[in-house]
Structures are given as structure tokens and as C-alpha cells.
Amino acid sequence: MSLNAKEVAQILEALEASSFDSLDLEIAGVKLSLRRRGAGPASSPTAVLTHPAASSSATPAAGGAAPWGPPAGREAFPAAVEAPPGSIAVPAPLLGVFYRAPRPGEPPYVDIGSHVEPDTIIGIIEVMKLMNTVRAGVRGEVVAIPARNGELVEYGEVLIFVRPD
């Protein structure tokens, strides 16, 4: 077992959200040491990742994809999403996998045309097997949903657009 870029990003996000100043982790010979740059919760963590010498290589993995980077078929940065006129973007509050419904096969929390209140749950973001509900934060009608179900979203990436009442 080895850490991939997504897992490292999720660990970084968890450290940022925690009150801890450091984290040392070793999985199958891969060492990950995280330390905050300064004192206090406002500082960002830094990461040092050490691979065992036998497996360190800059060549792409067997599937042709580089071991560090976006999944095959996905851009390195999310494409800019154009906001519908008069709408407000509801961004992802953290990095993780976005789900529109509470469970597979169930209806989504919101759809285009749904009316939302500030406390309406619009989806879930999974970070390190923890499910975090995301609320609309605004009252209005959902006019667009650019985030795709089951895909990784970055911090600040637009999940939905709401036309306020």
C-alpha cells in the first residue's frame, strides 16, 4: 500500500482543520511528516514525503498515468465555471469527494429548480472516510450544479449556483 496525491491532500486538509501542529505517519515504508510553519491555527501545514529507495521512480505507473497528479481524464485544475446571471456560487468548504445524495441510489439532496434555505443540505464531501454535510448558506432557487457526483472537488470549487430570493 502506498499514499497517492489525493490521500496526501486529504491528510493535509485534515491537519489544517485540526488543532494539531504536526503529524508523523508511516505506511508501508512511505514516511509523511507534516508540520505547521508557524504557531497557531492560522498557519498552513507543510509536507515532506519520503518514498523507499526501491520504489522511488519518476516514470509513469502501469496505466500510463503519472503516480502524482490528477486522475486520468481529469484536468489538473477545475475548468472555470460561468455563473448564470444573478446567481450566487456555493463553494466547496473543503477538499474531498462530493456526493449529491445521502446514499447511492437515493434521490439527490437538491436538483435544478429546488428551493433552498441557508441551512438546506446540498451534498456531502467525504474526507478520509468522514462525511461532511455542505449547506447552501443562501436562500433561493438552485439554477446550476457544476460539481459532478462522486468526483473530487477542490477547496473553493463551485458546487452549485443559487439565484437568491
Q: Is the pLDDT of residue 58 over 70?
A: no
CATH 2.40.50.100 for domain 88-164? yes
**Residue-wise pLDDT tens digits, 144-158:** 999 999 999 999 999
Euclidean distance between CA atoms 33 and 97, whole angstroms? 24
pLDDT of residue 163: 95
Stronger pLDDT, 71 or 16, i.e. the higher one: 16
Spell out the domain ranges in the chain: 5-50, 88-164
- In DSSP notation, 119-152 reads T-EEEEEEETTEEEEEE--S-EEEEE--SPTTEE
Stronger pLDDT, 88 or 4, i.e. the higher one: 88
pTM of the model: 0.54
pLDDT of residue 55: 41
C-alpha cell at 56: 522511488
C-alpha cell at 113: 429548480
